Amino acid sequence: MVRPGDRIFSLLSLAAGILILAILAGVALFLLLQSTDVIRASASEPGSISGGHGFIAYVLPLIAGTLISALIALLVATPFALGIALFTTHIAPRRFASSLGYVIDLLAAIPSVVYGLWGLSISGHLTGLYAWLATWLGWIPIFAPDAGGGVSQTGNTILTASLVLSIMVLPIITSLSREVFLQTPRLQEEAALALGATRWEMIRMAVLPFGTSGIVSAIMLGLGRALGETMAVAMVLSSGGLTLSLLVSGNQTIAAEIAQNFPEASGLRLSELISIGLVLFAITLIVNMAARWIVTRTTIKEG
C-alpha cells in the first residue's frame, strides 16, 4: 500500500533529479550550438579567429594559463589547509578551534571582487620579492626575468593572481578536510596513542589514511573553484601571451578572458568566447570525474 505522501515525495525528488540533468544538458547543448560557428570558421578560415592561427592556437595558451594558476593556488593552499584542519581537529583547545574554524569559513564568504581589489593593492608590494626571486632563482625557468633582465614593475603577474586564488580556495579545502578528520574513529586514534605513538605518529597512522579520499575530494573541489574563478584573476592579472616565467606579465585564464571581452564582443568573437566557455566546462567536468574516480578507488581499498 503506497501512501499519497510517499508518491508525491518520490515524484518531487525525481523531478528535482531530472531537472539538474536537464539543466546540465541544456548548458552543454547551448555551448555546443553557439560554438559551431567557430569550429567551422576555424576549419575553413583559421585567420578569422583571434590570434590568426585557428581555434586550437587561440585556446591552448588559455588552457595552460588556467591550469597553471589553479595548480599554483592548490600547491600553496593545500599544505596550509591541511595544517589548519589538523590543528583545529586534533591540536588546538576545543574553544579556540571552533572560533578559528569560523574565521576560516568566513574567508569563503568574502566576494571575489574584494579579493581582486586586495590583490591589486598588495601586488605592488610583491615586486621586491619577485626581483629577489629573479636574481637568485632566475635559472629556474618559472622564475626567469624578462629579456631586459627585469621583472614586472606592477607585480600584476600570474604568481600574484595564483596567490590570491590560493587564499580563496583555502576555506573550501580546510572546512571539508576538517569534517573528514573529525570522523576518524576515536578507537583507532586511542589505540595508536595507547601503543605509544606520539601525536604526529597518531595523525600519520590513523587520521591521514582514514581521510585520504576526503582530502582528495576537498582538493578537487578547491581546484574547481580555482579553475572557474573569474573576477579576482580578471582584476589582478596583467594578461598577455603564454609565458613560462611567473614573474613577468602575461598568461591569461579562460574565465577572465570571457569576462573581460564579453561586453564588447559580437558575431564570431562572441561565439569564440562561448566556445572557450565550452572548453572550461569540459575541463571542470574532467576534473570532477577524475576526483570521483580517485575517491571511489581509495574508498574501496579501505572497505
Partner 1 sequence: MKLKRVIPAAAIVSIGALTLSACGGSATGETGTGSQASDSASVSGTLVGIGSSAQKSAVQAWSTDFKSANSGAQVNYSPDGSGAGVKQFLAGTADFAGSDAYLEDDQVEAAKKVCGPDGAIEFPVYISPISVAFNLEGVSELNMSPSLIAQIFSGKITTWNDPAIKAENADANLPDSPITAVHRKDESGTTENFTDYLNKTASKDWPDEGSKEFPGAYKGESAQGTDGVVSTVTKTKGAIGYVDSSAVTDDMGTAKIKVGDTYVAHSAEAAAKAVEASDQVSGRGENDIAIDIKRDSTEADTYPLVLVSYHIVCSAYADQAKADLVKSWEKYVLSDEGQQSGAENAKSAPLSPAVAEKAAKAVDTIKVKG
In the complex, which residues of this chain contact partner 1 (CB under 8 A)? 50-51, 111-113, 120, 124, 146, 148, 150, 152-154, 156, 228-231, 234-235, 238-241, 248-250, 255, 258-267, 269
CA distance 133 to 155: 13
Alpha helix locations (H) across the chain? 4-44, 54-86, 94-109, 112-123, 127-137, 158-182, 186-194, 199-202, 208-228, 231-236, 254-261, 268-302
Exposed e or buried b per residue across 64-74, where buried means at least 16 C-beta atoms within 10 angstroms of its C-beta: bbbbbbbebbb
Q: Shortest distance, CB of residue 121 to partner 1, whole angstroms?
A: 9
Q: How far is the CB of 56 from partner 1 (least distance, A)?
A: 16
Minimum Å gap between C-beta 260 and partner 1 is 4
Q: Which of residues 105 and 146 has its CB atom nearest to partner 1 in the complex? A: 146
Based on CB atoms, which residue is closest to partner 1, 29 or 91? Answer: 29
CB of 106 to partner 1, least distance (A): 18
Residue 78 CB partners (closer than 8 Å, separation 6+): 173, 219, 222
Q: Which is nearer to partner 1, 196 or 267 (CB)?
A: 267
Determine contact, residues 66/280, Cβ cutoff 8 Å: yes
Residue number with CB closer to partner 1 (42 or 239): 239
> CB of residue 298 vs partner 1: minimum separation in angstroms?
29
Closer CB to partner 1, 98 or 153, in the complex: 153
> Cell triple for residue 178?
576538517
